[in-house]
Each structure stands twice: as structure tokens, then as C-alpha cells.
Structure 1
Amino acid sequence: MLVHINMAEQRFFSMNCLFLIFVCFLGLPNVIQSDSYREFSPKDIKEYDGSDPEKPIYMAVKGVVFDVSTGKDFYGKGAPYNALVGKDSSRAVAKMSLEPADLTSDVTGLTEKQLEELDTIFQSVYKAKYPIVGYMSWTVKENASHKEL
């Protein structure tokens, strides 16, 4: 059975498909809703560094806090990437480094290629694989100050 769709219905359908593609592949705009997610200070997130087996394992990248507990073989206590958890490790992710000096959110001085790599890993690994549980306090404050403008 063939179904006839008029031009208006076809445009509506096409626009909805484009919107779904946008949402699935690019994600919704990064809007922080304070009632939806927890705000973490550096002290708060440190509690989720994999040392307590009763707590989830959290890691922040670009100020976004992810629950990486499903990757405990990588991020848990004694695991190869445990140094990245319990903090915002944006610089380390961008540089693919586990050096103590790189275990920070500070991306100052990184090359354009390293910043692009950070964005790629942020989207294709962390946002795609792990649930967002909150935002670092400095990200929330930054977002609030932009709303005031």
C-alpha cells in the first residue's frame, strides 16, 4: 500500500529527521540545569576517586562530571587510568598524559591540535559512553555569569 504525503508533510518529516540526527550525533546544547545535576567542588569530586568500592567513580572533562564506574577496570583503584578520576583531567585527556602536572582542568597553552583532540575524546568517548552526573562548580558559576549578560 502506498501512502501519499503532501509537500508540507514531507518538509515536516524531513525537518524532524534532521532534528533527530542533530540530537543523536551532536547532542543537545550544553545547558546546565542546576536542579538536574549535582555541582562538584574539587574536594567533592575527590571522594569519587575509586578508592572506596562502595562509591561510584567520577571523572570530569571540560567541567562535566561523568560516572565512569562501568569502566572500573580502567579507572578503578590500581587501574591504568586511575590517576584521571576524582578530578577534572581535561589537560591530561587532551595531551594523552598521566603526568601529575597534566592532571588538571587547565588547558592554557595547549596546541590547537590538542584542543581538537580533547573535543573529539569528550564527544566520542565520555559523552557517548558515560552518564553525566554533574558539573564542576567553576563551570556552573561560569554558565550563570553568561546568563546574566
Structure 2
Amino acid sequence: MTTPPGSVGSCRYCLAWGVIAFSGMCHECVGWRVWDCQKCGGCHRAVPLKHGHCRLCHRQALRQLGRMVIRETMPNVDLAAWQLFLVFPLGPRGRHTHPKASPETPAEPAPSTGIDYLKILDKTHTANSAKGINYSSLLDDSRGQG
């Protein structure tokens, strides 16, 4: 069973995790379909090959060599273990919504209670500030006495 186009899954050829483009393949492997399916020289899977190796092994070689592309024959690299990778389609990405989705409308503000809480706080603060600070009550004469 292949993953339907546009969904997220693992590519059946390169095992990359990302958006599936066509018949269980990522966007990059769609371009690799033109190559013959044979046994890969690295992972020994029957998949499309370029220079005798599949896309998964090419990606592993690029990662090990620190390069962006391999244009010549496949260099000698350790293909005993593979680092899986993510793949995403290139191009503009817009907001994806369901066709029947309606735009979000902000909730209406809560009805007023008629109480001016800021005015109450201001009156309380003004009344407490008018008294002043009784510094002598802050000192505790029993400090230091055991």
C-alpha cells in the first residue's frame, strides 16, 4: 500500500520522511524514476540507481563527504549505517485550510458589569498613601536579643 499524494509519510525509495508527491515517492525520487531499478551497490535494495547507488546511499555519501552534489562516480564511503533524512517540496507555501473552513471571527467582548474597578483601586491607593508610612512600626526592637 502506498501513501497517497500530499500526505506525510516515508518515501518508498529513499526512505526520507516528508510530503509524498506521487505513488509513495517524495518529490526528489519522482525525478529518479527515469533510472533503471537494479540492486543498489550500497544497501542492496532493488530501486532506481544513479552511478550504481540509490538516492538513500547518495544522501549518506553527501552527508559523510560534506558536499551538496555527486557528479562523478560514487566515492568510497561507509554505507554500513544510514542517517534518515527529511524531505520537503520546494516552492511557495501558503496557508493550508480545509475548503469548507470559515475564517476565524474574534469573540465578542464580555458585557460590562458597571463596576469601575480601576476607580476603586485608585481610591484605595490614594487613601493608603495619604496616611504616610509609619517607619517606627517597621523597626522591631527585639532584634538581636536572644
Q: Shorter-normalised TM-score: what interval?
A: under 0.3
Structure showing greater radius of gyration is: 2
Question: TM-score if structure 2 supplies the norm length?
Answer: 0.21
Q: Which has the higher relative contact order, 1 or 2, with Cα contacts under 8 A spaced 6 or more apart?
A: 1
Question: TM-score if structure 1 supplies the norm length?
Answer: 0.21
